[in-house]
């Protein structure tokens, strides 16, 4: 990592338990003196957050959903992602375009070729060496069987439109993530998210240390929860209160 920013996205089916790891990574990078921007999709700007509320709350056909997701992404890229990367920051993004291929493409069955077109249209950026399609430098995929994710989500809160989908939907979403990984394996770190939370955290850390982006001396004593409460750690060793051990578009 030089003065160029670092773009990291986090993916997985609902209930895979990304959030605590994203928070912990933000602390790890900050401990190393890096400026960190944590953001999410859909969302991350005032406009995109309004679109998020519609995408997660309102019934709509798959094309409308895909177009709204990419509209939110365009605003987010222009207002938040590109400026943070230009400033040389670490940009941690809870979901990005892999989620669109997994949820709208694989999950809903929306046309993948159209999603590829929209991806290029929305994410093409002017670089010093020419135009390129913005993608994360690394995508951390929390891979979890849909049945385990469903157990974790059960009773956690009122489910949104996606969380209320049946297990078969999440199996297709999971297959969609696998296809994205197979198309670009070097961009992905696949994490077995069915382990206890601290074991998942060690795997996440390893992915960053191996790439030279985090130094072990800053992270060796870090746990995934800041200032853990020993009692809650004993009874809650994974997220959500349960545990399973075991035609070519122009540039931006």
Which residues of the chain form contacts with ligand TYD (CB under 6 A)? 14, 41-42, 56, 69, 94-95, 99-100, 103-104, 162
Residue 8 bridge partners (DSSP): 92, 138
CB closer to ligand TYD out of 177 and 219: 177
Task: Tell me the DSSP string of 159-194.
Answer: --TTTTS-HHHHHHHHHHHHHHHHHSGGGEEEEETT
Shortest spacing between CB 103 and ligand TYD, in angstroms? 3
DSSP tag of 16: S
Shortest spacing between CB 146 and ligand TYD, in angstroms? 13
Shortest spacing between CB 32 and ligand TYD, in angstroms? 26
CB closer to ligand TYD out of 5 and 105: 105
Shortest spacing between CB 9 and ligand TYD, in angstroms? 9
Shortest spacing between CB 95 and ligand TYD, in angstroms? 4
CB closer to ligand TYD out of 32 and 78: 78
CB closer to ligand TYD out of 28 and 152: 152
Do the Cβ atoms of 42 and 72 come closer than 8 Å? yes
Phi-psi sector, 43: left (phi>0), alpha (psi -120 to 50), beta: left
Range 59-65 contact pairs with CB under 8 angstroms and sequence separation of 24 or more:
59/161, 62/104, 62/108, 62/109, 62/110, 63/110, 63/114, 65/104, 65/108, 65/110
CB closer to ligand TYD out of 95 and 172: 95
Shortest spacing between CB 237 and ligand TYD, in angstroms? 19
Shortest spacing between CB 113 and ligand TYD, in angstroms? 17
CB closer to ligand TYD out of 117 and 218: 117
Q: Is the dihedral of CA 22, 153, 95, 58 positive or negative?
A: negative
Other CB atoms within 10 A of residue 174 CB: 22
Which residues make Cβ contacts (< 8 Å) with residue 181, sequence separation at least 6?
141, 188, 190
Token pair of 198, please? 């601290």
């Amino acid at each position: 990592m030089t003065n160029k920013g670092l773009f990291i996205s986090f993916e997985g089916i609902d209930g895979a338990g990304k959030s605590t790891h994203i928070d912990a990574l933000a602390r790890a990078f900050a401990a190393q003196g890096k400026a960190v921007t944590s953001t999410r999709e859909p969302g991350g700007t005032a406009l995109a957050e309004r679109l998020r509320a519609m995408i997660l709350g309102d019934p709509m056909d798959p094309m409308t959903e895909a177009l709204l997701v990419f509209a939110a992404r365009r605003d987010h890229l222009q207002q938040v992602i590109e400026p943070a990367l230009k400033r040389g920051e670490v940009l941690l993004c809870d979901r990005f375009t892999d989620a669109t291929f997994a949820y709208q493409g694989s999950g809903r069955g929306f046309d993948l070729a159209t999603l590829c077109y929209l991806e290029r249209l929305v994410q093409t950026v002017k670089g010093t060496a020419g135009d390129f399609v913005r993608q994360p430098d690394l995508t951390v995929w929390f891979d979890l069987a849909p049945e385990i994710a469903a157990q974790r989500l059960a009773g956690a809160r009122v489910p949104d439109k996606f969380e209320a989908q049946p297990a078969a939907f999440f199996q297709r979403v999971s297959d969609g993530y696998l296809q994205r990984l197979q198309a670009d394996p070097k961009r992905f770190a696949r994490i077995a998210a069915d382990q206890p939370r601290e074991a998942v955290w060690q795997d996440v850390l390893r992915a960053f240390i191996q790439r030279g982006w985090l130094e072990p001396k800053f992270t060796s004593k870090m746990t995934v929860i800041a200032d853990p409460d020993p009692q809650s750690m004993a009874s809650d060793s994974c997220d959500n209160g349960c545990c399973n051990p075991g035609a070519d578009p122009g540039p931006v």
